[in-house]
Structure 1
Amino acid sequence: MTEREKMLAGDLYDCGDPELLEQWHKAKDLMRDYNHTDSADLQEKERILNELLGGRGTNLWITAPFYVDYGNNIYFGNNCEVNMNCTFLDDNEIRIGNNALIAPNVQIYTAFHPTNAADRFGESKEDGSFEFCKTQTAPVVIGDNVWIGGGAILMPGVTIGDNVVIGAGSVVTKDIPSDSIAYGAPCRVMRENK
């Protein structure tokens, strides 16, 4: 099993793997180009997003700056908007449905590390340095017609159902069912959204 296969399976994997580092650097270069493209140059933005993302529907608007780990594990439906300064750590898949609104400063994480330092770093080398820390992942899924409020953080492995509003500043640690308005840290369902 390659390190990328381990990464997508949620197994411990080595972030320093040459194949993963090549993909990571490519994504960073594409993000740099996207974030420095003239705001009105829609053709160049489209070209970069087509190369960066794993897949997308029509009418995707991402306001720069935008940050990703690999980019190719992010999938958007139709009619989605991502506002400025969002960070998507897509070490596993991030799937976003149709008609999603993602406010500024939203962070979506699919990566996490073992809590035990020895498991994170392994044995130190003779010179006292360590390898890249070991990482695990879990996908994040966002349904249709979802609005994620500003500054919200979505943790690895969460699923947000359809027709959900996540309040600004929320920390989503567990699944949120469809037709809900949820907020808080940790995020909880506060009422139905019908």
Structure 2
Amino acid sequence: MTNEEKMLAGKLYDPEDASLQEQRTKAHRLCQEYNTLFDDQTDKRRQIIQELIPNQGKDVFFQGPIFFDYGSNTQIGDHFYANFNLTVLDTCPVILGDNEFLGPNITLATPMHALLPAERNLHEVAGKQVAFEYGKPLRIENNCWLGSNVVVNGGVTIGAGSVIGSGSVVTRDIPAGVLAVGNPCRVLRPITEADRLELKKELW
């Protein structure tokens, strides 16, 4: 297996592989270019996002600034919105569904490292200094809202229609249709018909 194949499969791989470095450099450059553009430079912004994230649906919007490690390992559905400062470390697949709403300062992080320092630090393999890592994919199903400053770790699936409260750190799967908050993130309660805006008279 190549290092890229190992990376995407969640196996130990060498992140300093030349091909992976080239892909990251391209993605980082595209992100930097996007981050220098103004909101009304829509055509140029769209071109960059299409090159950065080839696998995307319609009506995908990033307020920016953004940061992707690869972009090509991220899949986005239709009607996606991300506010300021989205970071996606997509060493493994990141799958984002339809009608997603991401608040500011969201981090989606798939990379994993050894817990033991001796395994995490640089060591020599075949005459080369290597710090192996691995990853775990993450998935956010359709119709989710992540509040500001949420971190989603690799290996996690957030079920359809769920809301993750601001500042939460999601370290385990979240079922569909719930409000979940905290660090680590835990289910607070189901989302029900009682949550309809039309019932909140103070808003009208």
Normalising by structure 1, we get a TM-score of 0.94
Are residues 122 and 33 of structure 1, via their aligned partners in 2, closer, same or farther at CA, if it must alter by over 3 Å?
closer
More deviation, 112-121/90-99: 112-121
Name the residue aligned to 1:167. 165
Task: Identify the residue that residue 74 of structure 1 maps to in structure 2.
Answer: 74
Aligned to 2:98: 98
- The amino acid of 1:29's aligned partner reads R
Q: Give the 3-state SS of the residue equivalent to 1:11 in structure 2.
A: coil
Determine which of 157, 175, 178 is the counterpart of 1:177.
Answer: 175
Q: Is the 8 A contact 2:123 2:130 kept in 1?
A: no
| Counterpart in the other structure of 1:60 | 60
Q: Is the 8 A contact 1:54 1:73 kept in 2?
A: no
Find the counterpart in structure 2 of residue 23 from structure 1.
23
SS at match of 2:189: strand
8 Å CA contact 1:60, 1:79 repeated in 2: yes
In structure 2, C-alpha distance between the alignment counterparts of 1:113 and 1:172, rounded to whole Å: 17
Contact map agreement 2:124 2:130 (CA 8 A) in 1: no
Q: Percent identity?
A: 37
Q: Tell me the distance in 1 between the aligned counterparts of 2:64 and 2:162.
A: 25
Could you tell me which runs of 5 or more consecutive residues in structure 1 were left unpaired when the two chains were aligned: none
Counterpart residue identity of residue 187, structure 1: C
Number of paired residues?
190
Equivalents in 2 of 1:110, 1:116: separation in Å? 19
Largest Rg, 1 or 2: 2
What displacement does 1:158 show?
0.2
Tell me what 2:153 maps to. Answer: 155
Q: Distance in 2 between matches of 1:39 and 1:168?
A: 25
Q: What amino acid sits opposite 1:179 in the alignment?
A: G
- CA distance in 2 between counterparts of 1:159 and 1:124 reads 35
SS at match of 1:134: coil
Which blocks of at least 5 consecutive residues in structure 2 are unaligned? 193-204
The TM-score, its normalising length taken from structure 2, stands at 0.90
What is the one-letter code of the residue matched to 1:158?
A: V
Once superposed, what is the RMSD of the aligned Cα atoms? 1.3
SS at match of 2:44: helix
Give the corresponding residue for 2:41: 41
Contact 2:150 2:165 in 1 (8 A): yes
**Which deviations, in whole Å up to 9, do the C-alpha atoms of 1:35-70 show, x marking residues without a partner?**
012221111111101110141111111011001111
For residue 86 of structure 1, report the CA deviation from its aligned partner: 1.3
Q: Deviations over 1:64-103 (max 9, x none)?
A: 1001111111111111100011111001111110100000
Q: Decide which moves more: 130-139 or 49-58.
A: 130-139
Q: Is the 8 A contact 1:121 1:131 kept in 2?
A: no
Summarize the Cα distance change of 1:115–1:142 in structure 2 as closer, same or farther, 3 Å threshold.
same
